[in-house]
Chain A
Amino acid sequence: MANPLDAERMGGLPHWEPSNVIGEMTLRDLLFSHDYRHIAIKGMLTSIVMLALGGLMAMLFRTELALPDIQFIQARSYMSLMTLHGMLMVFGFAIPLVISIMYYMIPKVLGTERLLWARGAQWSWWMLITAAVLLIISRPDFTWTFYPPMSLRVVGNLAWMGYVAIILVALSEMVAGAVLFRNGWAAKGRFRTMPLMGWAALSEGLLLMLSTPVLGLVGALMLTDWLQLTAVFDTANGGSVMTFMFLFWFYGHPAVYLPLVPAIAILYTLMPRILGKPMWSYWSAVIAFGLLTMLSFVVYPHHFQPAETVAGPIQRATQILTLLIFIPSTMHVFNWIATLWADPIPVSARRSIPFSFIIASIVFLILGGVTGYVNAQIAVDSDFIHNTYWVPAHFHAMFVGFVANMAMAGVYYLYPYFTGRMFNQAMARTHFWMWQIGIFTKVMMMYVLGYAYFPRWVVDYLPLPEWSIPQMLLTGGAYLIGLGFIVFVFNIILSATRGQKAVGDPWPVEHDIAGQTAATPAE
């Protein structure tokens, strides 16, 4: 029997009236308005620009890596491209895009009708953009993890800009976390009926507010070390690399969940909306959010566990806790699959583009998540996992396969609400398949390379068939993702003026009762 609280937990339906918000925005609105829709659209647009930049960099170094030996990119340029690709994709695309989608959805889904503390969201955006500009100007080549003392020695005169950018990213994300937490907390007193996006806002808010101050501290200490005012991390002057590792990864591991939690929140919002029914289990999702938040802060030493310093009880505890991350992740996936199984899938869902992206994103979450089981194990990690391509395979499955696919589901879903028009279905379908084939090829080839001990961060490699063939295929997969992105951009620009006008509910739930079998009685 349906729970009487389900209607409230699903959020307001339908969420908005389609309107040309984006067409009616002035430049002033875009830059300074505190209307939640303007702030969210601004965040989405800049995230897509970052995706374009980061993706273009990936195309360049993927072309270089298609063949062994150095073709046209030298080592320093390659590392600059690689570093900027990582930083722009994580800090500029993945995290801000899904948070911006949350900004757009929260006021309606949680019923606040406005984004509480929108001024904070505005500041967060400006700090992030400043950071991105500084990063691009400084062109750091020390990877997104900027391990000292390497990062203190090999970078050029503009390195300070990179460290200032890291401090700004930390501040930007901390403020964004405060905004999300404030909006989730607004449901105080009615948590039992709060839509799951509210729980995600609380989880994401905590993750951001607790982890980013440490990143800011690391950025500040790196800056003072680089200026030779301190030597906290510089081993040549009495500093400690391990202090850096423990501080950086205290942010670095939760950072993995920073795009993941909002993407899960978008899924929990869109799935009931598109299927026209509540999730299979509300409390399973709430518990999974809670467990994921707690575990994310205590597993970070697994990022550097083959180092001698991580040994004994710390190593064992890290292994156990990392293995336990399997539990909340599986609870989410179980919930989604159980929801899909329960009742006939509406024909409207089957033909909707956001639904296709949702299903694909779950496939990739499984594909990336299951390998967490071996990644967690000290013995296996000390063999073929640590710092081989196995690691990027795992996080590209999560970040691109799950987060980027879910972000696309969110953007396509919101599109008629902020343009007043529908996108071109055929082009969206083309984008969908290009991405899925491209991402699948990319992730699988990265796994194959990792299993063959291909090292991360190399511009040049030995001409071994077990390395060069997957590298070639991997580059092909990346090109397909790039082409799909071009189709996506073309579609959203063209459809904003030429698309079919959206009226009423752009996502009505339509059942084809005759062809579908009803579920067996519920528990």
Chain B
Amino acid sequence: MENALGLSGYQAIMMTVVFALGLLGIAGLLLAVFWPKRWRLKYRMEVGFVVLLLGLAWYADNQSTAIFTQYQSAIRESGTLSAEASTPSGQFDRELRVIAFQWGFAFLTDQNEISRSAAIVKPGEKVLFRIFSNDVIHGFNIPAVGITAEIEPSQEGSAVWIRAPKEPGKYLIQCLNYCGIGHAQMKAWLVVEGAEETPEA
């Protein structure tokens, strides 16, 4: 499954860093308590550790920003958002307008065909979702491709794009922001069907 933000490798690095730092801290603490040997740390060690953390912060900021900026640039190039109509920008294989409401999702194609609770796409397609809320704040999350947006009720809306999974099937779309008592039922499906689009020679 392709991560929408292209995070797979980077995320593995980040989780390794988190795990290593956590292990270092907990091991240091438990050794300090249970190991008989004593060790008076020098103040410069703390300074060194802070410098290491600053380096990690710098790395994370650069990488995260680069990944997110690259992801967002494709959306920016596709033009402004509008709930009323959508003109395909050509950047994506498919563009869908999504209306998030209490408690469901409606998907509109550029031919204004509407589908309640199912976004139908082809395997491997590059799909843009322009998401609007007409009532309260909602979330839009597709776990299979790892993307989340928070949508405030406004005319501007929000947008995310994904590369559809190559395996045909039904993939969960869910709201992640509490939006009222029907929040748990606010689900839809990304339906991947048909043959994979092959690029023209």
Contacts and interface: CB of A to CB of B under 8 A. Distances in A.
A457 B53 contact: no
B144 to A, nearest CB: 9
Contacts of B50: 327, 330-331
Nearest to A326: B53
Interface stretch (B40-48, B106-114, B192-200): B40-48
Given A75-B181, A306-B148, A326-B53, A342 B28 contact: no
Contacts of A22: none
Given A308-B152, A370-B22, A519 B39 contact: yes
A458 interface: yes
A455 B175 contact: yes
Contacts of B46: 281, 284, 331, 334-335, 338
B65 A334 contact: no
Interface in B16-59: 17-18, 21-22, 25-26, 28-33, 36-43, 45-46, 49-50, 53-54, 56-57
B181 A521 contact: no
A156 B14 CA distance: 44
B40 A523 contact: yes
Contacts of A455: 139, 141, 174-176, 183-184
Given A334-B49, A455-B175, A458-B183, A307 B7 contact: no
A241 B179 CA distance: 13
B29 A366 contact: yes
A461 B180 CA distance: 16
A381 B65 CA distance: 12
Contact of A319 (B45, B64, B143, B148): B64
B13 to A, nearest CB: 10
Interface stretch (A10-18, A131-139, A383-391, A431-439): A383-391
A242 B158 CA distance: 14
A366 B64 contact: no
B25 A241 contact: no
Nearest to A283: B43
A380 B10 CA distance: 9
A193 B60 CA distance: 38
Contacts, number: 235
Nearest to B21: A370
A342 B41 CA distance: 7
Contact of B158 (A284, A307, A330, A521): A307
Contact of B42 (A142, A308, A523): A523
A281 B177 CA distance: 43
B147 interface: yes
A235 B43 contact: no
Given A370-B21, A371-B18, A382 B176 contact: no
A236 B152 CA distance: 12
Interface stretch (A118-126, A147-155, A221-229): A147-155
A147 B181 contact: no
A242 B18 CA distance: 32
Given A380-B11, A519-B39, A366 B178 contact: no
A32 interface: no
A143 B175 CA distance: 15
Contacts of A515: 36
Contact of B18 (A331, A341, A362, A373): A373
A335 B60 CA distance: 25
A373 B139 contact: no
Nearest to A309: B152
A330 B49 contact: yes
A182 interface: no
A334 B175 CA distance: 40
Contact of A378 (B11, B65, B150): B65
Contact of B147 (A366, A370, A383, A459): A383
Contacts of B31: 341
Nearest to A350: B33
Interface string A332-358: 011111101111110000000000000
Residue picked from A281, A308, A461, A520, most chain B C-beta under 10 Å: A308
A141 B181 CA distance: 8
B33 A150 contact: no
B136 A388 contact: no
Contact of A374 (B18, B40, B54, B65): B18
B99 to A, nearest CB: 15
A386 B176 contact: yes
A34 interface: no
A280 B45 CA distance: 12
B165 interface: no
B148 A362 contact: no
A241 B174 contact: no
A517 B135 contact: no
Interface string A281-311: 1001000000000000000000010111100
A366 B27 CA distance: 11
Contacts of A307: 137, 150-152, 158
B83 interface: no
Given A153-B136, A370-B25, A456 B157 contact: no
B33 A340 contact: yes
B77 interface: no
Contact of B137 (A147, A338, A341, A366): A147
Contacts of A53: none
Interface in B165-191: 172, 174-185
Contacts of B45: 338
B57 A320 contact: yes
Contact of A341 (B38, B61, B150, B180): B38
A519 B177 contact: no
B31 to A, nearest CB: 8
B148 A382 contact: yes
A384 B7 CA distance: 11
B156 interface: yes
A379 B10 contact: yes
11 contacts: A235-B154, A306-B149, A334-B46, A337-B28, A342-B40, A373-B56, A374-B18, A377-B61, A387-B176, A455-B141, A456-B176
Given A241-B154, A341-B31, 17 more contacts: A76-B181, A150-B178, A235-B154, A308-B158, A309-B152, A327-B54, A338-B40, A340-B33, A341-B40, A366-B25, A379-B63, A379-B68, A379-B71, A384-B143, A516-B38, A520-B40, A523-B40
Give the 5 A-B CB pairs with smallest separation, nearest first.
A453-B143, A458-B184, A340-B32, A387-B176, A377-B64
